Amino acid sequence: MLKKILGIAPKLESDGSYSPSKLALKLATVQKTDFQNTSYKKYEGKKSKVLVIFTEQKNLKMKNGKLFSTGNHPVEALLPMLHLRNAGFDFEIATPTGKPVVFEMWAFPEKDEHVKAIYNDLKPQFDKPLKIKDFIENSFNDAGSYAAVFVPGGHGAMIGIPEDKNVGKALIWAHENDLFTITLCHGPGSLLSTTLNNQKFIYEGYKMAVFPDSVDKKTPMIGYLPGQMPHGLSEKIKSLGATIVNTKSDKTVCLDRKLITGASPLASNELGKLAAKTLLKELI
């Protein structure tokens, strides 16, 4: 009751999951983003496609058994996609089984016309995405048409994606074909899929920005998460031989070889700019 009065009680949803408290939403979400509508020299070559791997999962079970109402963070997904689209790239949207993309709609910036526009433009694809398995079967021999693979963040990227062998195949395919891999916040959880079946972590020795476990451990105090995470991410990636370049959930972005990463939702705009400029520099 006291938590409700103080506005730090997570909100109980109709399916029994919990979304962030009023205070957490005030502190951690925005109605309008810092998106900069940058003009780029548009890419007009063959490698114009970006595969975007989204989660189709909504509820992440915490250590205490409570379910966090999650999915992909709309800002982390749509701001980088706005920049990539401005730079001339198109998207193929996929989820593990072809079920609709799930977003953290409680984090949607309702007063941001740019974000709303691209969301509405791509909604038919969000509602009927590709199956990753079908992408593997139909498009692996066409690597020359792709520039990058993008895995947006949001805690939903931690549900099933790190254990999905087809996600691992797609990321290894991108790595072996010299394509860029772009991800941020909890999206780097997808990189763990490259270690399935006792394979070596293909990003060992890389520098990257990842949402810090230390921040996830603190967010239950304000009711962002309804409990402690079932397992961490940044320390796991560090244990596999990567170097984490950030200690805060800030605007940090990092480019190391063909891997482009960002630390948090706050890095979404900077990640988009870095990705667009880097891909154009490489391809034009």
Tell me the per-residue pLDDT of 182-193, one tens digit each, with 9 for 90 and over: 999 999 999 999
214-242 pLDDT, tens digit each: 999 999 999 999 999 999 999 999 999 99
| CB-based contacts of 203, cutoff 8 Å, min separation 6 | 191, 194, 237, 240, 241, 242, 259
**Percentage of residues in the chain having pLDDT higher than 70:** 98
3-state class (DSSP) for residue 171: helix
pLDDT at 160 over 80: yes
> Does residue 246 carry a pLDDT above 80?
yes
The CATH H-level (homologous superfamily) assignment of domain 50-58+72-99+113-283 is Class I glutamine amidotransferase (GATase) domain (3.40.50.880)
CA 15 to chain centre: 24
What six digits make up the tokens of 166? 């087809």
Q: What is the pTM of this model?
A: 0.97
Rounded to whole angstroms, the Cα distance separating 204 from 257 reads 12
Q: What are the residue numbers of the active site?
A: 185
Mean pLDDT of 38-48: 96
Tokens 């940044």 -> residue = 234
Longest CA–CA separation in the chain, Å: 59
Domain boundaries defined on the chain: 50-58+72-99+113-283
pLDDT at position 2, please? 46
Q: Is 128 a residue whose pLDDT tops 90?
A: yes
Give the model's confidence band at 1: pLDDT under 50 very low, under 70 low, under 90 confident, else very high. low
Q: How far apart are CA 228 and CA 136, in angstroms?
A: 35
In the predicted model, is pLDDT for residue 6 greater than 70?
A: no
Contact between 25 and 7 under an 8 Å Cβ cutoff? The reply is no
The yes-or-no verdict on residue 107 having pLDDT over 80 is: yes
Q: Among the residues of the chain, which ranges form H helices?
A: 2-6, 22-28, 74-86, 113-127, 132-139, 165-176, 213-218, 234-239, 268-283
